[in-house]
Amino acid sequence: MKTKVAEIGALHEGKGLVVKAKARSLVLIKTNGRVHALENKCPHLNMPLGRGKIENGEITCPFHGSKFNIETGANTDWVCAFVGLPVPIWTRALLALGKKPKPVKTFPVYVENNDVFVEL
């Protein structure tokens, strides 16, 4: 079912916008003129992704540095920082707390006229 979550004018290229859809928190990201929707929850410790850095088609968790492809949700790097500061490779396993890399959930997006809809 499609749910209206924003107007296209609220989105800015390369920036995330946190919205609510039914009881879910989502991050909308506009890149290269396309809009993507990801769950606003890093699968590592369920921390919000909304303030994560967006570059090269990825969003980075601002807490532990995990990176996710904004189109597919695929994990591209797992727990490589602590509150934005890079950590040595040998500490990554400690910070991961035994959790294996997982993708972030994505949702189909439809832009109709000036409205942005997400299918939940």
pLDDT by 10s per residue, the chain, length 120: 899 999 999 999 999 999 999 999 999 999 998 999 999 999 999 999 999 999 999 999 999 999 999 999 999 999 999 888 888 888 888 888 888 999 999 999 999 999 999 999
Task: Write down the CATH number for the domain with range 2-119.
Answer: 2.102.10.10
Domain boundaries along the sequence of the chain: 2-119
**The pLDDT of residue 83:** 82
DSSP string, 88-120: -HHHHHHHHTTPPP-PPPEE-EEEETTEEEEE-
pTM confidence score: 0.93
1 neighbors 16 (Cβ within 8 angstroms): no
52 CA to centre of own chain:
7
d(CA 111, CA 93): 40
